[in-house]
Structure 1
Amino acid sequence: MNFLAHLLLSYPDEDEMTGNFMGDFVKGKSYLNYPVPIRNGILIHRAIDDFTDQNRIARRLVVALRPVYKRYAGVVSDIVFDHILARDFKNWSGTDIDSFARYSYKALADRRDILPERVSFILDRIRESRRLEMYASLEGIKNSVQIMSDRTSLPDHTRELMIFMEKQSAFITKTFEEFYPELILRVKQKRQELQLHKSGKNRE
């Protein structure tokens, strides 16, 4: 899953959202350097990624994208899933995406002092481009993937991706609608595990 899903799955806890947002940039045991609420967000981020990578339903989209994107299919599938989430955001979140984006940007900006430098830079780029809100439209996804192709090693198959998303819209939507509830349950389970671990520590 990409930025939008990671943030929503920790909403409205601002500290957990921050940890979840920066999870890709905190390696190994360095998460222990952060306060517990941020640390939990980082661990939930890892749980989301692990679950998504191994989930039989999510793999359907990865497999469908592989002929075009090869080893980058998983990266692109995360972005496609964020598009479906953004497009139907109120159904999944109970709030509108513009309000949620404002809430997210402020929560992250208020904790800029603990963000890794690279994450702080990414936050500015995302906020300036209104990336979270843009995910809701195909044009927004097109722009996001194009930017990634220009700035990273992601191959530029934007045209092929747009054709795929238009032709396979029903398949993509069905895959997401089957997968996302399972992901929500996994995040709740992970959060409970972290709370139990904390309680155990407190009793020692």
Structure 2
Amino acid sequence: MNYFAHLHIAYETQTSWAGNLLGDFPVVANELPADLYSGWQLHQKVDVMVDEHEASVRFRGMPRLGRRRFAGIVQDIVMDYWLIQNWSQFSLLPLDAFCQQAVEGLLNDVERCPARLQKMIYSLQQNNWLAELGTVEGVENALHSIMRRWRHGAYLQPFLDELPTVIRQGEAVFFALYPDLLNYVDQQTKKAERENLLG
């Protein structure tokens, strides 16, 4: 899952907005404040669950130009696209209201975030582009952003070259995966609450 899905999970579980994004940024986990650490930890569990889900395995194995080993990166972005496209099936909160709440929540913790995440949050404050992740142009921009800052970024170009096919391939994967993921994070949240009560 990419930024938008992790923010949706933060909302659903009432855990830290920023914490749920920290898994994609360099941090020393055991030095994080408790609330940020809980979000970071949930992010890690989500990533493992998604990687191991049969729908993800199926997506990585689909015939396409790009190398299979990099398909998971693209899948994360495509999952955001399909979540936004089908937002009303997963939330009663209007999309624009959710995006606004997410940015406000991130700004509350911006000073406790690493520099690169701070830069992203301030970018959202200036121009809330979260909903744009649900457009083809938004998917392209997200992939180009990764390609610019990652030394292996050139390997993502084949996915861009056939992006409509890649996005289309992701639809069935999303619907097979995302409900399972929401059930999983609900179970993880309840488990953490029970452990906190037991002390």
* TM-score normalised by structure 2 residue count: 0.86
Contact 2:19 2:36 in 1 (8 A): yes
The residue that corresponds to 1:23 in the other structure is: 23
Question: Partners in 1 of 2:159 and 2:53 — Cα distance?
Answer: 25
The residue that corresponds to 1:6 in the other structure is: 6
Q: Which amino acid aligns with 1:182?
A: D
The residue that corresponds to 2:43 in the other structure is: 45
Identity fraction in percent: 22
The residue correspondences of 1:99-114 to structure 2 (distance < 5 A) are: 99-114=97-112
Question: Partners in 1 of 2:158 and 2:120 — Cα distance?
Answer: 23
Query: Cα–Cα, structure 1 residues 92 and 104, in superposed 2: closer, same or farther, change >3 Å?
Result: same
Shift of 1:12: 5.7
Query: Cα–Cα, structure 1 residues 68 and 126, in superposed 2: closer, same or farther, change >3 Å?
Result: farther
The residue correspondences of 1:47-196 to structure 2 (distance < 5 A) are: 47-64=45-62, 67-128=65-126, 130-153=128-151, 154-155=153-154, 156-157=157-158, 159-165=160-166, 169=168, 171-196=169-194
Contact 2:65 2:158 in 1 (8 A): no
SS at structure 1 position matched to 2:134: coil
Question: Partners in 2 of 1:143 and 1:15 — Cα distance?
Answer: 28
Shift of 1:70: 3.7
Question: Partners in 2 of 1:125 and 1:161 — Cα distance?
Answer: 29
Query: Cα–Cα, structure 1 residues 65 and 77, in superposed 2: closer, same or farther, change >3 Å?
Result: farther
Question: How many pairs are equivalent?
Answer: 196
Question: Partners in 1 of 2:67 and 2:84 — Cα distance?
Answer: 23
Shift of 1:101: 1.2
Question: Partners in 2 of 1:18 and 1:92 — Cα distance?
Answer: 21
Structure 1: gaps spanning 5 or more residues:
none
Contact 1:66 1:73 in 2 (8 A): no
Q: Which amino acid aligns with 2:150?
A: T
What do you get for the CA RMSD once the two structures are aligned?
2.3
Deviations 1:159-194 (A, max 9, x none): 42423136xx2x422221111111001101111221
Greater alpha carbon shift after TM alignment, 104-113 vs 12-21: 12-21
Q: Which amino acid aligns with 1:20?
A: N
Structure 2: gaps spanning 5 or more residues:
none
* TM-score normalised by structure 1 residue count: 0.84
Displaced runs of 4 or more, over 6 A: none
Q: Which amino acid aligns with 1:7?
A: L
Say which structure is richer in helix.
1
Shift of 1:144: 2.0
Contact 1:6 1:20 in 2 (8 A): yes
